[in-house]
Amino acid sequence: MRRKSTGRSATTPKPSIFQSPTFNFATIAILGGVLILGIGIGIAFSSTSTLSPSNVASREFIDTKAPNPDLCVQFGASAMVMDARLFVTLNPFNVYVAQPNMRPGCVLRQNNWAILENKKLVTSDQVRECKNRLNTFGFTGDLNSDKPDIRCIYQNENAQNFFLSQPGAVAPSQDTERF
Give the model's pLDDT for residue 106.
92
Task: Please indicate, yes or no, whether residues 65 and 103 belong to a single structural domain of this protein.
Answer: yes
On whether both 86 and 134 belong to a single domain, the answer is yes
**Residue 68 included in any domain:** yes
Q: What is the pLDDT of residue 139?
A: 92
Based on the fold, state whether residues 66 and 128 are members of the same structural domain.
Answer: yes
The answer to whether residues 119 and 42 belong to one domain is: no
Range of the domain at 29: 17-47
10 located within any domain: no
Of the candidates 146, 172, 145, which has an alpha carbon nearest to the alpha carbon of residue 160? 172
pLDDT number for residue 37: 86
Is residue 29 located within the same domain as residue 64?
no
Q: What is residue 173's predicted lDDT score, i.e. its pLDDT? A: 52
**67 and 22 assigned to the same domain:** no
Asked if 31 and 68 sit in the same domain, the reply is no
| Residue 129 maps to a domain | yes
pLDDT at 41: 82
If asked whether residues 82 and 139 sit together in one domain, one would say: yes
What local confidence, expressed as pLDDT, does residue 150 receive? 92
Per-10-residue mean pLDDT, the chain, length 179: 54 58 74 86 67 60 86 89 90 89 90 88 90 88 87 78 59 53
pLDDT of residue 102: 87
Q: Are residues 111 and 66 in the same domain?
A: yes
Residues 39 and 111 in one domain: no
Residues 83, 112 share a domain: yes
HEC sequence for 48-75: CCCCECCECCCHHHHHHHCCCHHHHHHH
Q: How many domains does the chain have?
A: 2
